[in-house]
Chain A
Amino acid sequence: MGVVSPAPVSRVDPGNRRPWYRPSHVVLQTGGGLGMVAGGAGFTLKDRLELDVLVGYVPEKHAGSALSLASAKLLYSPWTLPIKDKWSVKPLTVGGYISYTHGTINDEKPNQYPKGYYWFSTDTRIGPVLGSRLSYALPPTASGYARNLSAYYELGTNDLYIVSYAQNRKSLSPADILVLSLGLKLDI
């Protein structure tokens, strides 16, 4: 009686961050050259900087052989803008990815080609991405971490498409080499 209880501390403490090596979110996406479906986990390396590690799959019907893809995406999102209530938006995400494809029909056996026969890798791709993200704040996790469910799109391309465009700027347009991914992220 008479003791004023302190105001309840907000359970969501923006400074409350886990170590970088503990996954901060899970990801599910389609497209982007990383699989018909691709899922995985993501790490928050620093404020605004994320690393998503995905495993993707393309069925045989769609590719001539079943493809498994392993990929890593490094993403930097400089701004988070509140919209209203529980909604916020990251208007810009820039980054890059590297992917490895397993299961292609012609998988370059050892000694199949003389050294340097093909100058490019047939299974490893790298490329830039650029996108945006819309987030909805869910109740925070039991351990007090903020938790968003986000939907994102990313426009990207890959090294081989860039080379093709660079040498044919009259007849190819940047739109010809774009790929789109659509995905969801859930903070955990």
Chain B
Amino acid sequence: MRLRGSGGILLLLLAGCQLVEFSPNQAYVPTRERSLTAQNLRRLEVQPADDTLRFVFVGDTQRFYDETEAFVASVNRQRAVDFVLVGGDISDFGLTREFRWVNQRLAALRVPYLTVIGNHDLVGNGSAVYQHIYGPLNYTFQYQQTRFICLDNNGREYGFGRQVPDVSWLRQQLADTAGTRRTIVVGHMPPTDEDFDPQLVPAYTAALRGCPQLVFHLAAHVHRFTAGQPFHDRVTYLTTYSLQKKRYHILTVWGQREFRLETVTYGAGN
């Protein structure tokens, strides 16, 4: 019994240093690397607020570790940025080590960072890894009178079938406008993409259309900047660059639905 106990402790020690890896698909990290969404939201809460909301938006850090370091250096030189929003595809293969490699680099940001889950993050056991490291797949937070709704809308990873995105949850969150002036929705997939559950496009876009204080819908996935109102309903949909493109956006939001979009290019070459 005692032998089994000490054997167990030895195993945990070795697993703790991550060298003895039981599977690349395992979902296990040291305590301080868990619940990062909650950790970052606590940091955001105590951050002194000013009167404009200004945040960095970038997508798809997947397998671009060299670029992530350059990205962090560039963002840390920006002034008056409140936080960084990563639009999903944090990892490429949904593996714990990839998530850790990205977090080890993004942890050097001077401001907190928040994420949504991308389709690549849902490969293998990535869903469990993401929840272990970051937290819930769907969550909301409020900052500077703005309600952010962050959700998993990667329908194809669930084999479609009208499960994801959770439109009824989205509707509830959009209806809850108490104490906020604006709402911003963030999901990895733009609903114009063929990886978005086609059966849920009408309900999803109708829900957004029904929210008068919605500023825009943010997505990544396509690795390039797009902006428009593809459903001709005055709802603005934006997509951002992947990290590999060495570009990111800074969004400044004020008033009811006013916003400005800046593009920052960083790093040498390309």
Residues of chain A touching chain B, judged by Cβ–Cβ distance below 8 Å, are 30-36, 56, 58, 62-65, 67, 69, 101, 104-106, 109, 112-113, 118, 120, 122-123, 125, 158, 160-161, 163-164, 167-172, 176-182
Whether the Cβ atoms of B125 and A158 lie closer than 8 Å is no
Residues of the B chain whose Cβ atoms lie less than 8 Å from the Cβ of A33: 21-24
Among A63, A65, A180: residue with most chain B CB under 10 A = A63
Complex Cα gap A105–B125 (Å): 5
Residues of the B chain whose Cβ atoms lie less than 8 Å from the Cβ of A112: 156-157, 159
Interface residues of B in 18-49 (CB under 8 A from A): 19-28
Residues of the B chain whose Cβ atoms lie less than 8 Å from the Cβ of A161: 24, 97
B185 at the interface (CB under 8 A from A): no
With A58-B23, A67-B26 known, 13 other A-B pairs at CB within 8 A are A31-B19, A35-B22, A62-B15, A62-B27, A104-B25, A105-B124, A106-B94, A106-B123, A106-B126, A118-B123, A160-B24, A168-B65, A171-B65
24 residue pairs bridging A and B, Cβ less than 8 Å apart: A30-B20, A32-B20, A33-B24, A36-B11, A58-B25, A62-B22, A63-B23, A64-B131, A101-B23, A105-B125, A105-B127, A112-B159, A118-B123, A160-B92, A161-B24, A161-B97, A164-B63, A164-B65, A167-B66, A171-B65, A171-B66, A171-B105, A172-B65, A180-B21
Complex Cα gap A104–B123 (Å): 9
Residues of the B chain whose Cβ atoms lie less than 8 Å from the Cβ of A170: 66, 69
Nearest chain-A residue to B127 (Cβ)? A105
Residues of the B chain whose Cβ atoms lie less than 8 Å from the Cβ of A118: 123
What bracket does the count of chain B residues touching chain A fall in?
35 or more
Residues of the B chain whose Cβ atoms lie less than 8 Å from the Cβ of A105: 124-128
Complex Cα gap A71–B142 (Å): 48
Complex Cα gap A168–B127 (Å): 25
Residues of chain B touching chain A, judged by Cβ–Cβ distance below 8 Å, are 11, 14-15, 19-28, 63-66, 68-69, 92-95, 97-98, 101, 105, 122-129, 131-132, 156-157, 159
Known contacts A36-B11, A164-B98, A171-B66, A125 near B128 by CB under 8 Å: no
Residues of the B chain whose Cβ atoms lie less than 8 Å from the Cβ of A65: 125, 128
Known contacts A36-B11, A172-B65, A158 near B24 by CB under 8 Å: yes
Residues of the A chain whose Cβ atoms lie less than 8 Å from the Cβ of B26: 58, 62-63, 67
Residues of the A chain whose Cβ atoms lie less than 8 Å from the Cβ of B98: 164
Complex Cα gap A36–B10 (Å): 12
Complex Cα gap A159–B15 (Å): 21
Known contacts A63-B125, A168-B66, A101 near B19 by CB under 8 Å: no
Whether the Cβ atoms of A31 and B22 lie closer than 8 Å is yes
Min C-beta distance of B70 to chain A, whole Å: 9
Min C-beta distance of B141 to chain A, whole Å: 25
Complex Cα gap A35–B98 (Å): 19
Residues of the B chain whose Cβ atoms lie less than 8 Å from the Cβ of A181: 20
Residues of the B chain whose Cβ atoms lie less than 8 Å from the Cβ of A32: 20-21
